Structure 1
Amino acid sequence: MPPSRASAIQEQSISSTGSPPGSSSSSGRQTASCSHTQNGASSHVADKMKAPSSPGRPVVRKTAAIPSEPVKRPHAEGDDNAAALSRKSMKGAIPKDGPSTSNVNGTSAPIASPSKSLFRLPADQPAAQVISASDVSATQECGRIIHADLTKYPTYERAAHHAHECSSACLFKESHRGLMEYAKVVHSPLVIPLLFGWTRTTIKARRSKNDIREDRINYKMVYYSPCGVLIRSEAKLSDYLVTVKSILSMTLFSFRSDVDITRKFVVTKSMVKKYREDIADKQLLPAKIPLINCFSDKLPDTFNYSKKCVKSEAVVKLMERLSITERSQGCDCQGVCGPGCFCISLVEDDYGYKSSRLPERSLYIVECNDHCKCGPNCGNRVTTSTVQFPVLLYYYPTKGWGVRALCDIPIGTFMGFYLGKIITDQEISENNDKYLVALDYEKTVDRSHVTNPDGSISTTAAAPIADEENMCNIDGRQFGNVSRFFNHSCDPNLFAQNIHREMFSSRVYHIGFFTKKDVKAGDELCWDYAYTPHSIDGRQIKCMCGAANCRKFML
């Protein structure tokens, strides 16, 4: 019998830092645990189930109007001082050439290792207590939300503002080495600017003259720069970072008051049955992706963690036959790209990155690449210049492995690519159609643009339309990354976006995941697999996501 629907789990939602006075500090929030399983399946839960087996290979194509999401195929079964930082201490982390203001608490306090700070024990639960697997129900929440004390970090008091012309002299001493060292110890990338002299706070927002309400006070999230300049908007922040030549990217800032930079998700250590420090085997340093199983000693199926896609021999031959080559043409922009950028001009719609984030799906994205002259902090290099937000691989007894956020993540944040081995349709069989995502966007690339054999992009030739015979897929079964564990939801907090960077082709491209709403610490990261329910005779997958708009069946 299939596992029963998991009951809702009551979590506590705590108001974000800098929230308006008088707001509730905590409120009850129902978070439904979801599962996905096939009818008639055994009670044994595979580490990743999305479809029942079939004697023939499944074919599920997305035919909805563009823009649409990729189709998930059903399957068969800093500076020198910053360098002194350690994972256990931040002694000596304050650069000598930084602002003259002192630390908030006057000292440089030690910080716990991120891997250790993942675990916290409730005050009423002694560390020696042993909880057996039989004592943990399938719907029990093994983690909780706590708030980090920012005074433990070497942050600074807000600098007094004096009339001046901003330049690179306004900056706290920055270096890429220091940035990476800080990224190792903070619980959220949004804390990093505070370690370089920035201040994030709320102020009373300007009210309209026609607003006569007296019972409501509006507050707005703002930043103060290291030189004391008040920055109220993303546009002004972008201009400031360019003016002072800062190495900090826009993705390290958020003006959204609902995003609490102190909130973090931790797991009770005594409840952990299986733990791995990093499923990526240190390939993503300074980031790590821990694995936790509070219900058994089960581990995910073995796979090779990869930072990029690999191509099968059949795909290489297909690309040669169709003259699909890497781009050799880039933009001539200096510093950051803007209107007139060659790469941005290839996108025909009004969508695209906004302040280095993607708040809604675009027809397609053409990112700057190694042939472009713009700098590393260009707003059109989001997937290569982003400090990753921390996530956790977490085991759910009802649906296998899933991915949870360890801190608050703003809307539009890049969370990673779907990676694996790119294969052709002819290479799919019932034995390897697991973790497949179809590259079947026939309309993603405008027909007036095509990559020529020499790598340049033509705006006059007509691009051939992808057909069934030449379709490709990303197989994340043997090679992949954490995105292979993103589960399905009918009310997802992620969306999939096709991105063209090295190549400009409707057959081979990247699929990236972005947050479509603000994600709270502890939330599971999910996307819509875009199956069409009852589209394949004899095959049915019951959806157990528990969302209010659940379609009841995935397939």
Structure 2
Amino acid sequence: MAEFSKECSVPSKMSWDALEALCRLEGLHCKDLGITKANVNEYEVEFLCDYKKTKMEEFYLVKWRGFPESVNSWEPKRHLKCSKLMKQFHQDLDQELSRQKIRSIPKRLDREISTFIVRKAELRQKLQSWETQLNLTCNHPGRIFVMNDVDFEGPPKNFTYINNYKAGPGIVFTEMAVGCECKNCLEEPVNGCCPGASLHRVAYNEHGQVRVRPGQPIYECNSQCLCSPDCPNRVVQKGIQFDLAIFKTDNGRGWGVRTLQHIKKNSFVMEYVGEIITSDEAEKRGHIYDGEGSTYLFDLDYVEDVYTVDAAHQGNISHFVNHSCNPNMQVFNVFVDNIDERLPRIALFSTRSIRAGEELTFDYKMQIDPVDTESSKMDCSFTLAGVSNSPKKRMRVECRCGADSCRKYLF
């Protein structure tokens, strides 16, 4: 009879929570699950569903983690050790009571109120799961948070988070063959360092803030360069440095993004990432997107209008950034390892100091003043899906940015 290897294992058909609940139910101890003789009879509260009070005591209806709703139970407040969940329960309760113009907590909640609280709790779980997935997927230092205090919309169903451009059918990235030999690219550049090869100066100061005008290309040091990863000419390639939050807007603009940290003027914030497709393919997809009123196609027209970034279903956090006619971010074309000028990386830098908690925006139809030859090449062409060059086919999309200088329409 063959012996089983000690390394042999099979996946469990139960979730971790369900497995823990089963062990507690059967009185089994498990070191990996954290179930010991001392805590085997302790059950974890997943969320609180309902509330009632008598003359003597307050009770909460508890949803136990790992167990079906059929075993929900009323528990006295004194038995519960879940202060955070209790605080969240009362925040949701106060919100709904305020909406219904009820001034005090009733002795027994009606079904409409308890249903609202359960839906909010279930939504919070879905968003927390999505938040965890996003942070496991992203490769940048800045963390991502998700919140929705407006309605019951959960995570997008057809969106995959990616960190870099994804090449679409027929798209080939041409990688840089050579790099610089500088020891200090900012103070002692050899032959002008990487920007010198294209007759441009290093785009950043010693603090990583951009110092060239919008419209001028940025050439960062690449994977073939001898300089260290801490080189001042490596900014965009280091990824998002700030903690950001995806949040649901309260004025019909869908999801938005706000910064949770202060951002200094001229700082790199994020890239616009998606699938690289041809302009012809973008036109085809655009006709599909038109019916959804989506705006995720970004034309890469730095030197030629032949490629487009499609972030409708694959992208990073920039997928959720809204338009503003008075934005706090500006688009720059950046080149790192790819030398094809038709395929720049789209980097968003702050145009001013941005407070923690402020929404991040950029102008979908930003125009760059032609102060020189290079900048005249660059228009920010973040277009409505499928909009052709013919004015007769352009869709009129209302702008809700709320800026004093609002143009009233995005397109």
Paired with 1:363 and 1:350, the residues of 2 have a C-alpha distance of 10
Matched, 1:486 2:327: no
**What is the Cα deviation at residue 350 of structure 1?**
5.9
SS in 1 for 2:391: coil
Match of 2:197 among 341, 346, 371: 346
- Aligned: 1:475 with 2:310: yes
Contact 1:136 1:295 in 2 (8 A): no
1:146 aligned partner: none
CA contact (8 A) 1:414 1:514 kept: yes
Q: 1:524 aligns with which of 338, 350, 359?
A: 359
Pairing partner for 1:293 from 148, 168, 173 = 148
Give the letter aligned to residue 404 of structure 2.
A
Of 250, 253, 262 in structure 2, the residue corresponding to residue 408 of structure 1 is 262
Q: Residues of 2 paired with 1:131 and 1:291: CA distance?
A: 17
Matches within 5 A, 1:242-253: none
Mapped contact 1:330–1:373 kept (Cα < 8 A): yes
> 2: CA distance between counterparts of 1:486 and 1:136?
31
CA distance in structure 2 between the partners assigned to 1:284 and 1:474 by the alignment:
19
Residue in 1 that maps onto 2:180: 331
CA shift, 1:511, in A, is 0.6
Task: State whether residues 239 and 270 of structure 2, in contact with CA within 8 Å, keep that contact through their aligned partners in structure 1.
Answer: no
In structure 2, C-alpha distance between the alignment counterparts of 1:284 and 1:540, rounded to whole Å: 35
2:174 maps to 1:303: no
Q: How many residues align?
A: 268
TM score, norm. by length of structure 1: 0.44
Residue 271 of structure 2: which of 417, 422, 444 is its match?
417
Aligned match of 1:445: none
Q: Which amino acid aligns with 1:552?
A: K
2:92 to 126, 131, 148: 131
1:315 pairs with one of 171, 177, 183: 171
SS of match in other structure, 2:288: coil
CA RMSD of aligned residues (A): 3.1
**Cα distance in structure 2, aligned partners of 1:347 and 1:367:** 11
Native 8 Å contact 1:346 1:366 kept in 2: no
Indicate conservation of the 8 Å contact 2:202/2:219, yes or no. no
What secondary structure sits across from 1:408 in the alignment?
A: coil
Q: Aligned equivalents of 1:387 and 1:335: distance in 2?
A: 24
Distance 2:167 2:266 in 1: 29
Structure 2 residues not aligned, in runs of 5+: 1-83, 100-119, 368-382, 384-388
1:347–1:364 contact (8 Å) kept in structure 2: no
* Whole-angstrom distance in 1 between the partners of 2:214 and 2:133: 29
Check the 8 A contact 2:162/2:274 in 1, yes or no: yes
How big is the shift at 1:348?
3.7
Corresponding position: 1:374 with 2:227: yes
Give the secondary-structure state (helix, strand or coil) at the position aligned to 2:171: helix
CA distance in 1, matches of 2:309, 2:240: 25
Alpha-carbon distance between aligned partners in 1 of 2:177 and 2:218, rounded to the nearest angstrom: 17
Distance across 2 between alignment mates of 1:354 and 1:347: 19
Alignment of 1:152-551 (within 5 A): 274=124, 275-276=127-128, 277-278=131-132, 280-284=134-138, 287-301=142-156, 302-316=158-172, 325-338=174-187, 339=189, 340-348=191-199, 352-355=203-206, 356-359=208-211, 360-385=213-238, 388-397=241-250, 398-428=252-282, 429=284, 430-432=287-289, 434=294, 435-442=296-303, 466=304, 471-530=306-365, 536-537=391-392, 539-551=395-407
Quote the sequence identity (%).
29
Of Structure 1 and Structure 2, the greater helix share is in 2
Counterpart in the other structure of 2:67 = none
Note the C-alpha offset of 1:128: 4.6
Q: Following TM superposition, by how much is the alpha carbon of 1:337 offset from its aligned partner in structure 2, in angstroms?
A: 3.9
Deviations along 1:46-69, one digit per CA (max 9) or x if unpaired, are xxxxxxxxxxxxxxxxxxxxxxxx
Tell which has more relative contact order, 1 or 2 (C-alpha 8 A, sep 6+).
1
Map Cα deviations across residues 260-310 of structure 1 (whole Å, 9 max, x no partner): xxxxxxxxxxx8853323352412365431111112221242311111111
Q: 1:392: Cα distance to partner?
A: 0.3
Q: Give 1:386 shift.
A: 5.8
- Unaligned runs of 5+ residues in structure 1 are 1-120, 138-270, 317-323, 443-465
TM-score (norm 2): 0.59
